[in-house]
Structure 1
Amino acid sequence: MRGGRSTVATRSSAKKRRPTRAVAKTANPSAAGTPAPVLVTIFDYVRFAAARLTRARVTVAHGTTDPVAEAAFLVGEAMHLHPDEVEPLAARRVPKAAGRRILGWIEQRIATRKPAAYLVNRMYMRGMAFYVDERVIVPRSFIGELLDSHFGGDDVLRLRDPATVTRVLDLCTGSGCLAILAARAFPNATVDAADLSADALTVAERNVQEHRLEDRIQLAQGDLFAAVSGKRYDLIISNPPYVDAQGMASLPHECLAEPRMAFDGGADGIDLVRRIIDGAKTHLASGGGLLCEVGRCKPAIEKAYPRADLLWLDTEESEGEVFWIDAATLADCAPARHPVGTA
């Protein structure tokens, strides 16, 4: 569903292994009478964990792209490694304590179907680590990539010169990850991060403190723009709830561990998106713009706002799931009118 994913690959080491090896025993062998796997290196554990996750048919949708990447993520956390370090260090031996931690997490992941990020209380976006728990959705927004790719030095892709952005609003901030990424992308900006959930803001506060951005990020509780009444911004970013009723009825088990309010976008998925588009008109400064993620709701958005000049942006892993609209265009953006007697 989301982006900013960690795509860690693994490969075997060319070095010869020592003839004597430790044998790691799992609490739940995959088949009766099957010998316990021989696990020594990071590569061994990633390969074993990926096979277990694949056989168990877990849903991978929380910051990793496949069972191998998820296995590498968990092994890396047990070894206190950044995801980018796992592959280069694949031949490193895993201490017994870390090995037990890995095997425990894998069995817990399969038994509970909780997202891996909740098991280790960590997820990465754009290389940065964030604390997460069940009070917030696991961060996986495509907006993080767009902050890097469309607000940099490339004049063709650039939506706005980052040096001129001084006021940013992150609506539905959750864990605060996008607000923190925005503070990194726009060094001259202060950021307001708003959410309706007090629990989510507690998590966001922890992340803001861990990244030492208390002087630049202000947290606000409230219902969308009500949390920042009267303020105007150069940039508004939002990754709001956008799952429609059909999608809510078929959420995978892993997603049920996350806050329902972080998903539920109403019958067609865009209840909050409509309010964001309509409210942004009075909260954007001249020359500003709205960057909003809507998942697969592009058809619903275009139906609701047929005359809106929306710029749909692609990322490495998405097509048309995030739109940009500038303040001048937004001022003329009106929702579709329905004939009397129609819904």
Structure 2
Amino acid sequence: MKKCTLNEAVNDLRTIGDMLRWSVSCFTAADLHYGHGTDNPWDEAIQLILPTLCLPLEISDTVFSARLTYSEKQSIVDRVKCRVNDYIPVSYLTNKAWFCGYEFYVDERVLIPRSPIAELINQKFSGILHKEPQYVLDMCTGSGCIAIVCALVFPHAQVDAVDVSRDALAVADKNIDMYDLKKRVTSIYSDLFDELPIKQYDVIVTNPPYVDVNTIKDLPKEYHHEPMLGFFGGNNGLTLLFRILNNAARYLNINGVLICEVGNSMNALITSNPDIPFTWIKLDNGGDGVFFLTRNQIINIKNKEKMTEN
């Protein structure tokens, strides 16, 4: 594939609108994969260019006619080069991502937020929880986006954000500070539940690594810039899920609920464990593989030791 040199762009492009049009053309001609917050080259260009210029995503169209300085143009061109030639996701170039409409800092230490669980949080877990939670656990928190938005949506909740990656927790802490939530959101280093003190939560929300060994080989180039620790879930993608299932009941109160995303490992999970009464959630905004189980359902799963990822 032809590489993007783009050397002439700085002189030929004058306005934000020029830069947007040119970037969209460049992205369209390239072999790019969208899936980190956008699904088309226009939105991709918007999310690259406006944050590069320290502008909000929602601006008047009249701003598109604004002239750019040479250094502004060069910054945009450099980032377009990285996106096209090196397949670096836009969020890593700008250090910005959005989840539930909130902005988060991200870098290569964490996955870029894109979980369909966002829809459930925006709906305040309607139909899943009977009342607003007081204690929330976000297992495998990564950037901390789920934990933080839960704290914002449920202003009286205390939220624990757990991850096995200290690098990821450093990013989560940065985002917790950004939203001034240190009194209500606590980051905790733990390999799932191993180092987590026993505590009764109203809801455990988790988006654990669930990509299987075969699928991980075929991920688009963009995904290989993200930490594999956040993707790989064992041979069949379900290793961490079953560790969570086998421990979650001890950390849920009597009416507690586990909400979990397993993505494209959904079929393998159903096939290997047909007797587990998963409630699969229909999502209006797209996305498959999100289920919930109540504490009582988890406890009542017979022969839990026979649950298998194979």
TM-score, structure 2 normalization: 0.90
Q: Letter of the aligned partner of 2:101 in structure 1?
A: G
State the Cα distance separating 1:113 from its structure 2 match: 1.4
Give the share of equivalent positions with the same residue, in percent. 34
Q: 1:142 aligns with which of 105, 116, 121?
A: 116
Q: 1:306 aligns with which of 267, 271, 274?
A: 274
Kept in 2, the 8 Å contact 1:125–1:144? The answer is yes
2: CA distance between counterparts of 1:77 and 1:246?
36
For the residue of structure 2 that corresponds to 1:91, the secondary structure is helix
Q: 1:91 aligns with which of 48, 60, 64?
A: 64
| Residue aligning to 2:127 | 158
1: CA distance between counterparts of 2:187 and 2:9?
53
Kept in 2, the 8 Å contact 1:305–1:333? The answer is no
2: CA distance between counterparts of 1:41 and 1:316?
37
2: CA distance between counterparts of 1:79 and 1:89?
15
Say which one has the larger Rg: 1
| Residue aligning to 1:217 | 185
| Residue aligning to 1:232 | 200
Number of residues of Structure 1 aligned to a counterpart in Structure 2: 304
Task: State whether structure 2 residue 185 is matched by structure 1 residue 185.
Answer: no
Higher helix share: 2
Q: Letter of the aligned partner of 1:93 in structure 2?
A: A
| Residue aligning to 1:255 | 223
For the residue of structure 1 that corresponds to 2:162, the secondary structure is strand
| Residue aligning to 1:112 | 86
Residue pairs, 1:200-211, within 5 angstroms: 200-211=168-179
State the Cα distance separating 1:50 from its structure 2 match: 1.5
Kept in 2, the 8 Å contact 1:248–1:264? The answer is yes
Aligned CA distance change for structure 1 residues 214 and 207 (closer, same or farther; 3 Å): same
Kept in 2, the 8 Å contact 1:42–1:89? The answer is no
Kept in 1, the 8 Å contact 2:124–2:153? The answer is no
Alpha-carbon RMSD across the aligned residues, in angstroms, is: 2.4
1: CA distance between counterparts of 2:48 and 2:287?
28
1: CA distance between counterparts of 2:280 and 2:24?
35
Kept in 2, the 8 Å contact 1:72–1:86? The answer is no
Task: State whether structure 2 residue 107 is matched by structure 1 residue 130.
Answer: no
Kept in 2, the 8 Å contact 1:295–1:321? The answer is yes
2: CA distance between counterparts of 1:336 and 1:89?
62
TM-score, structure 1 normalization: 0.82
| Residue aligning to 1:285 | 253
Kept in 1, the 8 Å contact 2:6–2:81? The answer is no
2: CA distance between counterparts of 1:265 and 1:330?
21
| Residue aligning to 2:17 | 43
Q: Letter of the aligned partner of 1:117 in structure 2?
A: S
Kept in 2, the 8 Å contact 1:265–1:271? The answer is yes
Name structure 1 gaps, 5 residues minimum. Answer: 1-26, 152-156
Aligned CA distance change for structure 1 residues 54 and 316 (closer, same or farther; 3 Å): farther
1: CA distance between counterparts of 2:11 and 2:223?
31
Q: 1:75 aligns with which of 41, 49, 69?
A: 49
| Residue aligning to 1:11 | none
